[in-house]
Structure 1
Amino acid sequence: MRIHMIQIDGALQRGLSLLTAVCAAKTGISPSELASRTGLPTSSVYRLLKQLDTAGFVRKSAPGCYVPVPGFLSLTQDIDRNAILRDLARPAIFRLARKTGLTAHLGILENGMVTYVIRVAARANDSASFTREGGQLEAYCSAVGKVLLSNLPEDDLNEYLSDGEFVPLTDNTITNAGQLQQEIATARTQGFALDNFEVSEDLFCVSVPVGPQPADQNCAISVSSSRSARIYEAPESVLDDLRATAAEIASRIAGPVEVQTGNL
């Protein structure tokens, strides 16, 4: 996750900065390490930790180390992350569809499948009518899927590629694991991927990643059209709009900021 550096004063922001650092640590973390990570004076760290302990957000674990309280962490477990992502990103996806005149999607990777969190059609009769919000498609043959696969750690990608058979949906569907790996590597290098009539004989799609983003929120956006729109002749013509929209969404879903402290 990319950290945005900003200048903020106030006890609330210092406390949130410290709490974020405690939650981000994989194990217990010491006050001196917290001071190093947040830029807060060690005296302020001790004072804020005592207040957070009293409020029930953190507890001392091993000698000299602090961890977040499980009850506090459980508050986020019932949050519907897809619903929040949908609410934050829909306005940008709507504008993308209207500006390009193409059907726009935002998708995430779930269990090797692309889940379409948002779908906005520019026209009533669009070629991607078989997609729907909450619906899924195979990742290996879709542009969104290739981008999402390109963001996976290498071990996870290798597991996906060796996990099963890739069924051809059209004559253009890539079904060879080695060729698919090359296609995914190309998507990672060039920053976008294509569905070259691989899902449907009459559907072409261009996708880019949404990033930077939280590590557990791998998502991508796309625009798609039928052959008649002819974007397959110049897919680069929609890249600027896609990338601008992706950057806007990334700024909306970015995680907590890192606080640059002044005189405390």
Structure 2
Amino acid sequence: MPVLQDLLDALRARTIEVVDLTAPLHSGTPILQLPPPFANASPFELTEISRYDERGPAWYWNDIHTSEHTGTHFDVPVHWVTGKDGEDVAQVPAARLLAPAVVLDFAAESAKDPDFLLEVDHVRAWESEHGPLPDGGWLLYRTGWDARSEDAAAFLNADDTGPHTPGISVECAKWLAEEAPVMGLGVETVGTDAGGAHSFDPPFPCHSFLLGAGKYGLTQLQNLARLPATGAVVIAGPLPIVGGSGSPARVLALVES
């Protein structure tokens, strides 16, 4: 097909760049920390099966143990009570795993205030400059938080009042879920909600509203600074876990050089 050949030619010529938006997955990858009595996800762990030895002389392989929501991962509606009758991760249509994306950059604001919240007015101001949000695409929210991803304490940024990480206001989360044409939200932080969202009304509004509306989340993204405000295409590849509430994912972006 000429269109696919054109894409391959552009990739070979590097007129289209592939940008990896995925955080490396290892035992030190930060994970969400919920207070008692709530249960927490497991950190990533490799358990060796064999490594060119008597257990398997010519091969190396491992078991992996992790949560669906460890590292860069894909949230689906059934992850939240408001979406409990919605899709599990195996039911996400394959065609939706490749979609246009825009980047809203509020890294400067987040550097000044780790509790910074994106508001509807911020999105509308962005639209007045760059055009409408993409129908059936991703809104990627850049806060610069990926710079902290190799330091779990700095990444979670918690004190005795709880975590302090940037996010989205209740009103904006509701608007993105009910009025915006996007199919999902991508962030650099440990989850789609702000660190202080446990005290919002409702708590964790991005999870509550977006997943309840049948939309998706991508978390712990990296390298959003390398993407243009508009024009990127995102490929998000979760594992098709039957009954799964989400999955670690390899997330890539295609960008015209």
Question: Whose Rg is larger?
Answer: 1
In proportion to residue count, which structure has more strand?
2
In proportion to residue count, which structure has more helix?
1
More contact order relative to length (CA 8 Å, sep ≥ 6): 2
TM-score, with length taken from structure 2: 0.24
